[in-house]
Protein backbone atom coordinates (compact mmCIF):
# COMPACT_ATOMS: atom_id res chain seq x y z
CA UNK A 1 0.00 0.00 0.00
CA UNK A 2 1.20 3.61 -0.66
CA UNK A 3 0.94 4.86 2.99
CA UNK A 4 3.53 2.50 4.59
CA UNK A 5 6.66 3.86 2.83
CA UNK A 6 5.78 7.42 3.83
CA UNK A 7 5.61 6.53 7.55
CA UNK A 8 9.04 4.82 7.47
CA UNK A 9 10.78 7.89 6.00
CA UNK A 10 9.27 10.15 8.61
CA UNK A 11 10.61 8.02 11.45
CA UNK A 12 14.17 8.05 10.03
CA UNK A 13 14.18 11.84 9.65
CA UNK A 14 13.04 12.33 13.25
CA UNK A 15 15.83 10.14 14.59
CA UNK A 16 18.48 12.23 12.80
CA UNK A 17 17.19 15.57 14.12
CA UNK A 18 17.32 14.61 17.87
CA UNK A 19 21.00 14.96 19.02
CA UNK A 20 22.26 12.73 21.80
CA UNK A 21 22.77 14.40 25.24
CA UNK A 22 26.38 14.76 26.40
CA UNK A 23 27.20 14.27 30.10
CA UNK A 24 28.17 17.54 31.92
CA UNK A 25 31.95 17.90 32.26
CA UNK A 26 31.75 19.90 35.51
CA UNK A 27 29.38 19.25 38.40
CA UNK A 28 27.02 22.01 39.32
CA UNK A 29 28.23 24.48 41.97
CA UNK A 30 27.72 23.23 45.51
CA UNK A 31 27.53 19.63 44.39
CA UNK A 32 30.25 17.21 45.56
CA UNK A 33 32.09 15.41 42.84
CA UNK A 34 31.35 11.76 42.63
CA UNK A 35 34.11 9.54 44.05
CA UNK A 36 35.63 7.09 41.61
CA UNK A 37 34.40 3.60 42.08
CA UNK A 38 36.74 1.21 43.88
CA UNK A 39 37.86 -1.77 41.90
CA UNK A 40 36.14 -4.96 42.75
CA UNK A 41 37.88 -6.99 45.41
CA UNK A 42 40.05 -4.05 46.77
CA UNK A 43 40.25 -3.97 50.55
CA UNK A 44 40.45 -0.64 52.45
CA UNK A 45 43.77 0.03 54.25
CA UNK A 46 43.44 -0.40 58.04
CA UNK A 47 43.77 2.79 60.14
CA UNK A 48 46.77 1.41 62.06
CA UNK A 49 48.68 0.60 58.90
CA UNK A 50 48.25 4.12 57.48
CA UNK A 51 49.30 5.71 60.78
CA UNK A 52 52.48 3.65 60.77
CA UNK A 53 53.59 5.24 57.51
CA UNK A 54 54.14 8.72 59.07
CA UNK A 55 56.62 8.87 62.01
CA UNK A 56 55.00 10.48 65.06
CA UNK A 57 56.48 13.86 66.16
CA UNK A 58 57.48 12.57 69.62
CA UNK A 59 59.41 9.63 68.22
CA UNK A 60 61.20 11.90 65.76
CA UNK A 61 62.20 14.33 68.52
CA UNK A 62 63.54 11.50 70.66
CA UNK A 63 65.97 10.46 67.92
CA UNK A 64 67.31 14.00 67.55
CA UNK A 65 70.87 14.34 69.01
CA UNK A 66 69.97 17.66 70.65
CA UNK A 67 66.96 16.16 72.44
CA UNK A 68 68.87 13.07 73.55
CA UNK A 69 71.09 14.79 76.15
CA UNK A 70 70.73 18.42 77.34
CA UNK A 71 73.85 20.56 77.61
CA UNK A 72 75.63 20.11 80.92
CA UNK A 73 76.37 23.19 83.05
CA UNK A 74 80.05 24.03 83.45
CA UNK A 75 81.49 22.91 86.77
CA UNK A 76 82.85 25.66 89.03
CA UNK A 77 86.59 25.75 89.55
CA UNK A 78 87.67 23.50 92.39
CA UNK A 79 88.84 25.19 95.58
CA UNK A 80 92.26 24.44 97.03
CA UNK A 81 92.18 21.44 99.38
CA UNK A 82 92.10 22.20 103.12
CA UNK A 83 95.59 22.57 104.53
CA UNK A 84 97.06 23.92 101.29
CA UNK A 85 99.54 26.75 101.69
CA UNK A 86 102.78 27.08 103.65
CA UNK A 87 103.47 24.89 106.67
CA UNK A 88 105.48 25.87 109.73
CA UNK A 89 109.09 26.38 108.69
CA UNK A 90 108.18 27.37 105.11
CA UNK A 91 108.88 30.81 103.73
CA UNK A 92 105.91 33.15 104.04
CA UNK A 93 104.38 34.16 100.69
CA UNK A 94 105.10 37.75 99.67
CA UNK A 95 102.26 40.28 99.45
CA UNK A 96 101.62 43.97 98.87
CA UNK A 97 98.07 45.23 99.46
CA UNK A 98 96.33 48.57 100.02
CA UNK A 99 95.43 49.07 103.66
CA UNK A 100 93.48 51.42 105.92
CA UNK A 101 94.79 54.88 106.71
CA UNK A 102 96.28 55.24 103.22
CA UNK A 103 98.93 52.64 104.04
CA UNK A 104 100.31 49.67 102.10
CA UNK A 105 100.65 46.33 103.86
CA UNK A 106 103.81 44.82 102.35
CA UNK A 107 105.96 41.85 103.29
CA UNK A 108 108.90 43.68 101.70
CA UNK A 109 108.50 46.57 104.16
CA UNK A 110 108.47 44.05 107.03
CA UNK A 111 111.63 42.29 105.86
CA UNK A 112 113.92 41.45 108.79
CA UNK A 113 111.09 41.92 111.31
CA UNK A 114 108.64 39.41 112.82
CA UNK A 115 104.95 40.06 112.20
CA UNK A 116 101.47 38.58 112.55
CA UNK A 117 99.14 38.34 109.55
CA UNK A 118 95.61 37.06 110.04
CA UNK A 119 92.79 36.40 107.57
CA UNK A 120 89.12 36.97 108.43
CA UNK A 121 85.96 36.48 106.32
CA UNK A 122 84.14 39.83 106.49
CA UNK A 123 84.51 43.20 108.17
CA UNK A 124 82.04 44.29 110.86
CA UNK A 125 80.51 40.86 111.43
CA UNK A 126 80.30 39.49 114.99
CA UNK A 127 83.21 37.03 114.98
CA UNK A 128 85.47 39.25 112.89
CA UNK A 129 84.74 42.26 115.12
CA UNK A 130 85.63 40.32 118.27
CA UNK A 131 88.85 39.07 116.71
CA UNK A 132 89.89 42.54 115.49
CA UNK A 133 89.14 44.18 118.84
CA UNK A 134 91.10 41.47 120.71
CA UNK A 135 94.17 42.04 118.50
CA UNK A 136 93.79 45.78 118.90
CA UNK A 137 93.70 45.51 122.70
CA UNK A 138 96.87 43.42 122.67
CA UNK A 139 98.58 45.64 120.07
CA UNK A 140 100.76 47.49 122.60
CA UNK A 141 102.19 44.14 123.78
CA UNK A 142 102.79 42.97 120.21
CA UNK A 143 104.58 46.25 119.45
CA UNK A 144 106.66 45.81 122.61
CA UNK A 145 107.91 42.52 121.10
CA UNK A 146 108.74 44.29 117.82
CA UNK A 147 105.80 42.72 115.94
CA UNK A 148 103.31 44.36 113.60
CA UNK A 149 99.79 42.98 113.18
CA UNK A 150 98.02 42.98 109.80
CA UNK A 151 94.42 41.87 109.14
CA UNK A 152 93.47 40.76 105.61
CA UNK A 153 90.04 40.18 104.05
CA UNK A 154 88.50 40.50 100.59
CA UNK A 155 86.47 43.58 101.62
CA UNK A 156 86.80 46.76 99.55
CA UNK A 157 88.68 49.69 101.05
CA UNK A 158 85.60 51.81 101.92
CA UNK A 159 84.19 48.98 104.05
CA UNK A 160 87.56 48.48 105.76
CA UNK A 161 87.98 52.20 106.50
CA UNK A 162 84.50 52.28 108.04
CA UNK A 163 85.24 49.16 110.11
CA UNK A 164 88.55 50.55 111.40
CA UNK A 165 87.02 53.92 112.31
CA UNK A 166 84.01 52.35 114.05
CA UNK A 167 86.14 50.28 116.44
CA UNK A 168 89.24 52.53 116.50
CA UNK A 169 91.51 49.82 115.12
CA UNK A 170 95.13 51.03 115.03
CA UNK A 171 96.72 48.23 112.99
CA UNK A 172 96.29 48.10 109.18
CA UNK A 173 93.43 46.20 107.57
CA UNK A 174 94.40 45.19 104.03
CA UNK A 175 92.11 44.51 101.06
CA UNK A 176 92.62 41.31 99.03
CA UNK A 177 89.62 41.35 96.64
CA UNK A 178 91.04 38.72 94.26
CA UNK A 179 91.95 36.34 97.12
CA UNK A 180 95.48 36.05 95.73
CA UNK A 181 97.19 36.49 99.09
CA UNK A 182 94.60 34.33 100.89
CA UNK A 183 95.16 31.49 98.42
CA UNK A 184 98.94 31.86 98.75
CA UNK A 185 98.62 31.29 102.49
CA UNK A 186 96.08 28.47 102.10
CA UNK A 187 93.37 30.62 103.70
CA UNK A 188 90.84 30.04 100.90
CA UNK A 189 88.76 26.88 100.44
CA UNK A 190 85.70 24.91 101.48
CA UNK A 191 84.09 25.74 104.79
CA UNK A 192 80.92 24.75 106.67
CA UNK A 193 78.62 27.23 108.39
CA UNK A 194 75.39 26.08 110.07
CA UNK A 195 75.52 22.84 108.09
CA UNK A 196 75.96 24.57 104.73
CA UNK A 197 79.10 24.07 102.66
CA UNK A 198 80.58 26.94 100.68
CA UNK A 199 83.86 28.21 99.23
CA UNK A 200 85.34 31.24 100.92
CA UNK A 201 87.99 32.74 103.15
CA UNK A 202 89.11 30.50 106.02
CA UNK A 203 89.86 32.24 109.31
CA UNK A 204 93.62 31.71 109.67
CA UNK A 205 96.60 33.33 111.44
CA UNK A 206 100.34 33.16 110.77
CA UNK A 207 103.22 34.22 112.98
CA UNK A 208 106.20 35.05 110.76
CA UNK A 209 109.72 35.27 112.21
CA UNK A 210 112.39 37.81 111.30
CA UNK A 211 113.80 35.39 108.69
CA UNK A 212 110.49 35.55 106.82
CA UNK A 213 109.46 31.98 107.69
CA UNK A 214 106.24 30.68 109.20
CA UNK A 215 106.95 30.14 112.91
CA UNK A 216 103.36 29.20 113.81
CA UNK A 217 100.23 28.63 111.76
CA UNK A 218 96.64 28.49 113.02
CA UNK A 219 94.04 27.13 110.60
CA UNK A 220 90.23 27.36 111.01
CA UNK A 221 90.62 29.66 113.98
CA UNK A 222 88.15 29.87 116.87
CA UNK A 223 87.93 33.53 117.85
CA UNK A 224 87.62 33.31 121.64
CA UNK A 225 91.07 33.60 123.25
CA UNK A 226 92.85 33.47 119.90
CA UNK A 227 94.68 36.82 120.13
CA UNK A 228 96.02 35.85 123.57
CA UNK A 229 97.28 32.52 122.17
CA UNK A 230 99.10 34.28 119.32
CA UNK A 231 100.66 36.75 121.77
CA UNK A 232 101.95 33.88 123.91
CA UNK A 233 103.53 32.27 120.81
CA UNK A 234 105.08 35.62 119.88
CA UNK A 235 106.65 35.91 123.35
CA UNK A 236 108.10 32.41 122.99
CA UNK A 237 109.55 33.35 119.62
CA UNK A 238 112.16 35.57 121.34
Express as a percent the part of the chain with pLDDT over 90.
58
Looking at residue 195, what is its pLDDT? Answer: 79
pLDDT digit string (tens) for 90-105? 999 999 999 999 999 9
Distance, in Å, from the CA atom of 134 to the CA atom of 138, rounded to the nearest integer, reads 6
Output 154 or 4, whichever has higher pLDDT: 154
92, 128, 147, 152: which one is catalytic?
A: 128
Distance, in Å, from the CA atom of 44 to the CA atom of 186, rounded to the nearest integer, reads 80
- C-beta separation of 212 from 111 below 8 A: yes
pLDDT digit string (tens) for 132-171? 999 999 999 999 999 999 999 999 999 999 999 999 999 9
Phi, psi of 154 (to 5 degrees): -90, 5
pLDDT digit string (tens) for 174-220? 999 999 999 999 999 887 767 788 788 999 999 999 999 999 999 98
- Domain residue spans of the chain: 96-237
Distance, in Å, from the CA atom of 100 to the CA atom of 128, rounded to the nearest integer, reads 16
Name the pLDDT band for 88 (thresholds 50, 70, 90).
very high
Q: What is the DSSP string of the chain?
A: --HHHHHHHHHHHHHHHSPPPPPPSSPPTT-PPPPPPPPTTPPPPPHHHHHHHSPPHHHHHHHSHHHHSPPPPPPPPPPPPTT-SPPTTSBPPP-EEEEGGGEEEETTTTTTS-EEEEE-S-TTSHHHHHHHHHHHHTHHHHHHTT-EEEEEES--HHHHHHHHHHHT--S-EEE-TT-HHHHHTT-EEEEEETTEEEEEE--EEEEE-TTSBEEEEE-S--STTHHHHHHHHHHHH-
Looking at residue 3, what is its pLDDT? Answer: 44
Looking at residue 50, what is its pLDDT? Answer: 43
Sign of CA dihedral 98, 222, 183, 159: negative
Active site residue 133: no
Name the pLDDT band for 61 (thresholds 50, 70, 90).
very low
For the chain, give the mean pLDDT: 78
Looking at residue 206, what is its pLDDT? Answer: 98
Output 139 or 43, whichever has higher pLDDT: 139
User: 96-237 falls under which CATH superfamily?
Assistant: Glutaredoxin (3.40.30.10)
- Of 152, 165, 139, 161, the residue nearest 106 (C-alpha): 152
Amino acid sequence: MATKPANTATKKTTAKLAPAKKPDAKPAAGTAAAKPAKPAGAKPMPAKASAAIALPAKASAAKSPAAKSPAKAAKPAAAPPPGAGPAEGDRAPAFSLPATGGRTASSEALKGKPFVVYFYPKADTPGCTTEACDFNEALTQFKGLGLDVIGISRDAMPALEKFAAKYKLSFPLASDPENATAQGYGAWGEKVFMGRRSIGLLRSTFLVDKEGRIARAWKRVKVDGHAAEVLAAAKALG
